Each structure stands twice: as C-alpha cells, then as structure tokens.
Chains A and B, each alone.
Chain A
Amino acid sequence: QLQESGSQLVKPSQSLSLTCAVSGFSVTSGGYCWSWIRQAPGKGLEWIGYIYDSDSSYYNPSLMSRVTISVDRSKNQFSLKLSSVTAADTAVYYCARGVMGPTYYYYMDVWGKGTTVIVSS
C-alpha cells in the first residue's frame, strides 16, 4: 500500500512537499524503485522521476532543475520536493512502486490513490 500526504495548497514560487508512506514492503528492498507521477486537471499522466537503491535517481528533464526525490529508511517512506511552483504544477500527484521485470527494466505495479495539489495565491 502507498499513501500520499503533504502540501495541498501552495503559493506560487514556493515549494511543494509530498510524502508517500509505504506499508507491506520496505523501501530498501532490492529490485524496486519509488516513483512520482502527476496528472494536471483533465490531462494525461506525466512522470516526474524515481529513486532506487535509496540514493540513485532519475528525473524528467522538463522538471529536473526543480525536483528532488528522497527516501527516509527509518520511516519507510519516500518524498517529493518541487521548488518554484507555478499554476502549471497544479495536479493530482501519485506515488508508485516500480518493480524490476524480466527484462531488468522497471514498470509501475502499485500506485497510491493520489493527492491533489493546488498552486494559487
């Protein structure tokens, strides 16, 4: 199970912070990555980035300069920080677990329910 929590209303130019609590499995388990995806109102899915091995990460180039994903092993959770937000960052944010498949590439098999973040003054 994955459960998102965090900032729901953020002012423009500030930072958005979200946490994904993981239950039923460990964020330190091998063969998994921990990802964030977002969906603007009425739009499709946009991958934000993922972290694996607790400290290795990949980010969407379109967001890379503003995104940080981190893992908190003690709390079995991972987090997203997005800086300098604008109205374009208003979206439902999902966390997801990526599992390494038979081709040794990750695909996302478990998703959180999502949390809505609104950027507005």
Chain B
Amino acid sequence: EIVMTQSPATLSASPGEKVTLACRASQSVSTNLAWYQQKPGQAPRLLIYGVSTRATGIPARFSGSGSGTAFTLTISSLQSEDVAVYYCQQYDNWPPWMFGQGTKVEIK
C-alpha cells in the first residue's frame, strides 16, 4: 500500500499570511492526488483533485501543485475560516485508498 506522509502536523500562521502544506507519497501516484478540508465537527470537503484542480466553489486562494510523490497545498492568504485539518489522499493505487495523517492549520 502507498503511505502518505503530511508535514507539518500543526501549522500556526497570521491572517493574510501564505501557508504551504506538504504531502509525500511512498511511491508515485501520478496526478491522482486530492486534498480535503475538515473543519471542527464537520465532514471533510473536497478542495482539490487531480493535484491542482479546485473543486466547485473553492476559493482561488487555495492551490495545489506537485507530481509523482511530492505535493503541496498552498493557501495564498490565510483567513480565519480556513482553520481546519487538511488531508491529502491518493486515489491512484488501490485498495486501499490512503489518506495522510492530516495537517492542522491554526490562526496566530
């Protein structure tokens, strides 16, 4: 199975700051990589699929990049409503679909 590793575990930044979350796969997942946002007490929500395509209704401040085994999610200007845990997930090689362990984003 493919292991997904996210870093950092927790990230604290000021409003308006640019933040970058990392996700690494133990082997290539091609472009079959998604990012999800989970706010406290809520279900996950799809942010990005295919490494860099924003899902419907997702603000342009969210962007994804990378290829093969190394990927990043960038929030260009952190807003208070972005406080959440962010998960990457590979859907290239299954079973199983694997998620990263998550990065918690906090506001300073």
A residues adjacent to B (C-beta < 8 A)? 37, 44-47, 49, 58-62, 64, 94, 101-103, 105-114
B residues adjacent to A (C-beta < 8 A)? 1, 30-32, 34, 36, 42-46, 49-50, 55, 87, 89, 91-92, 94-102
Q: Could you tell me the dominant secondary structure of chain B's interface residues?
A: loop
State how many angstroms separate the Cβ of B67 from the closest Cβ of chain A: 13
A108 contacts B96, CB within 8 Å? no
B46 contacts A107, CB within 8 Å? yes
A47 contacts B97, CB within 8 Å? yes
B46 contacts A44, CB within 8 Å? no
A to B CB contacts below 8 Å, 23 in the list: A44-B100, A45-B99, A46-B99, A47-B97, A49-B95, A58-B95, A59-B95, A61-B96, A62-B96, A64-B95, A101-B32, A102-B50, A103-B30, A107-B32, A107-B46, A107-B49, A107-B89, A109-B55, A110-B46, A111-B44, A111-B46, A112-B43, A113-B42
Given contacts A107-B91, A108-B46, A110-B46, list 10 more A-B pairs with CB under 8 A.
A44-B102, A45-B102, A60-B96, A94-B43, A94-B44, A105-B92, A106-B91, A108-B34, A108-B89, A114-B43
**Chain A residues with Cβ under 8 A from B95's Cβ?**
47, 49, 58-61, 64
A94 CA / B97 CA spacing, docked (Å): 15
Query: Which 3 residue pairs of A and B lie closest in terms of their CB atoms, listed nearest first?
Result: A60-B96, A47-B97, A45-B99
Which of B1, B34, B95, B97 gathers most chain A CB within 10 Å? B97
